[in-house]
Amino acid sequence: MNREELNIRKQEVEEILQFYLPEETAVQGSLAAAVRYAILAGGKRLRPILMLEAYHMFGGTSDVIRPFAAAMEMIHTHSLVHDDLPALDNDEYRRGQKTTHAVYGEAMGILAGDALLNLAYITLFQAFRYKEDEERIYRAASILASKTGLSGMLGGQSLDVENEKNNRTDLDEEELLYIYQLKTAALLEASLMVGAVLGGADRDQVFTMERIGRKIGLAFQIRDDILDVTSTQEELGKPVFSDQKNEKTTYVTLHGLDEAEAAVERLTEEAFKDLHSLPGDTRFLEHLLGSLAGRKY
């Protein structure tokens, strides 16, 4: 995968987002501005890119994927806006610039996150215009809602918050990986599964995509743990040593940097093995997934 290929796919996502984002109206101008600021503040757009690539890999050709791709990025951004709030991580920088609440205030940060989540489902419902794909759309929407809600991303975040609230620093590997699976991997699983379902993948192929997303998601989060102690704020675009500051248990604190690197490599290789069992052109997806696990920022 070269940079040009990735940029082309990223630009496609940017155009999709611009189509579905609200205008800054006179009545809700401040809220709409905060929403647009949050979602247009940069980012790699990895989740919608993964979704689009999975869709095309299984033969999808229509625009039914577009509202799903936009909804995924809106849900992801909503989680970041709320994660940065003073009640949670209290971070003032994200993607190299001020976080939403740091610019618009805490109250507007809360509302902007809420608005993004609401807008995600408003956008998602527009997919039902494609009558010929209704059964697939329903299945894909159910996956997206499940993976991002109580039994997925939000559930993982709640466990993280509870552990921090109770000053739990004695998590074992099983507990930690379960949180990682929900908090981080679930969105990658959803991206790949939704693309596969809408593209016409069969049941076993969808489950294979789920396994790939889980393994890469775990590798992604372990890499994040590594970067928190080896990178800089300039490279990451957000504060480093935040886990240490908050006395959080991470894969690095449990096993050290060398074992963390080995775990990332093992999980990535297992994901590639699953990917190679699927039909279609998997080359771009393989390179993209590899870049997630091996990223330096």
What's the per-residue H, E or C state across 70-107? HHHHHHHHHHHHHHCCCCCCCCCEECCEECHHHHHCHH
How high is the pLDDT of residue 237?
A: 52
The domain ranges of the chain are 3-294
Give the Cα separation of 190 and 247 in Å (integer): 30
Nearest in space to 20 (alpha carbons), one of 130, 119, 128, 141: 119
Predicted pLDDT of residue 235: 53
Q: Which pLDDT score is estimated for 291? A: 86
Sequence-ordered list of residues with C-beta below 8 angstroms from that of 21, at least 6 positions apart, any chain: 35, 36, 39, 40, 119
Which pLDDT belongs to residue 233? Answer: 55
Task: Count CB neighbours of 197 within 10 A.
Answer: 30
Place of tokens 């016409």: 200
CA distance 101 to 120: 20
- Tell me the CATH number of domain 3-294, given options 1.10.600.10, 3.30.1600.10, 2.60.40.10, 2.60.120.460: 1.10.600.10
Backbone angles phi, psi at 127, to 5 degrees: -65, -25
Flag whether the pTM goes above 0.75. Answer: yes
Predicted confidence at residue 4, as pLDDT, reads 84
Residue-by-residue pLDDT tens, the chain, 297 positions = 567 888 999 999 999 999 999 887 756 778 999 999 999 988 889 999 999 999 999 999 999 999 999 999 999 999 999 999 998 888 888 877 899 999 999 999 999 999 999 999 999 999 999 887 899 999 999 999 999 999 999 999 999 888 888 888 788 999 999 999 999 999 999 999 999 999 999 999 999 999 999 999 999 999 999 998 886 555 555 555 555 555 688 999 999 999 999 999 999 999 999 999 999 899 999 999 988 877 665
The pLDDT of residue 179: 95
Q: What is the pLDDT of residue 161?
A: 87
Give the model's pLDDT for residue 262. Answer: 95
